[in-house]
Amino acid sequence: MENRSSMQDPRNQYPRPPFPDQEQAAPGLVKRMTPAPDHGENSYRGYGRLAGRRALITGGDSGIGRAVAISFAREGADVAIAYLPSEESDAAEVIKLIEAEGVKSLALAGDVRDEAWNETMVARTVEAFGGLDILVVNAGRQQYRDNLSEFSTSDFDATMKTNLYALHWLCQAAMPVMPAGAAIITTASIQAYEPSDILLDYATTKGGIVTYTKALAKQAIERGIRVNAVAPGPFWTVLQPSGGQPDEKVRNFGAHSAFGRPGQPVEIAPVYVLLASREASFVTGEVWGVTGGAGIG
């Protein structure tokens, strides 16, 4: 039974805005964020729910992907993380945290917009771990633009390839090597349901992820593979100050949530753990909202 003295008002459990100015160039680095996000480095406790599993997580260097990588390792899984070469310093920290749990790690630096790289990531993970049981498609591109005229073709193309094409390429490469009982988890967003005008391309991809996930789940279950999506609301990740939101919105990020603050990455990691585990054996084709009270649908 939980010690009642450890209970805490969730509205005040983590920092509340306003936050300091902290603009970064994309894709940004965790170490430059103030306040520092909590990815579970010191707060996540594992219980062996993924012992012996082999996972590949894209965007595993920071934000939600970093929190998922830490939680999976502490639940006993071998973990491969994919990230951009410019994010090497963040990724190195995550690799150390994974290895501290006595499980195998694999660092995969590359660009998910390259179709061949997606195939390579899967192949290298299988080679390093002897198989692949969990695929978390999490890498994302979010760059705000004030109006429609500012959304260039190159912008749209980069967002589509990072958020949607890579999802398709990864699933195509991974599904043939994943055994029955495996799980694929995609990362959607509340933006699929309540799109922001300044995130037109990003919101479009997140709506596509929801639809793709539901459709793929119908195919995958014929192989005994479950496919689900997680739809975050406002989470304090490096995606926001590195061009994901205007400066004034970063300063007050999450203030509109029911909690009056943004979520911390560690607060969403347990949902990924559940969806990857045997406890979710009757769950597929679902979208799990973690939105700070906004709901989805």
Mean pLDDT of successive 10-residue segments in the chain (297 residues)? 71 96 89 95 96 98 98 98 96 98 98 98 98 98 95 95 98 98 98 96 98 98 98 96 93 97 98 98 98 90
Query: CA nearest 82: which of 113, 57, 117, 116?
Result: 57
> 117 lies in a domain?
yes
Kindly report the CATH number assigned to the domain that includes residue 198: 3.40.50.720
> 296 lies in a domain?
no
At 4 the pLDDT is: 56
At 10 the pLDDT is: 96
> 26 lies in a domain?
no
> 64 lies in a domain?
yes
> 34 lies in a domain?
no
Containing structural domain, residue 257:
48-288
> 39 lies in a domain?
no
- Using CA atoms, how far apart are residues 105 and 122, in angstroms rounded to an integer? 14
> 207 lies in a domain?
yes
Number of domains in the chain: 1
- Using CA atoms, how far apart are residues 257 and 142, in angstroms rounded to an integer? 20
Q: Which residues are catalytic?
A: 202
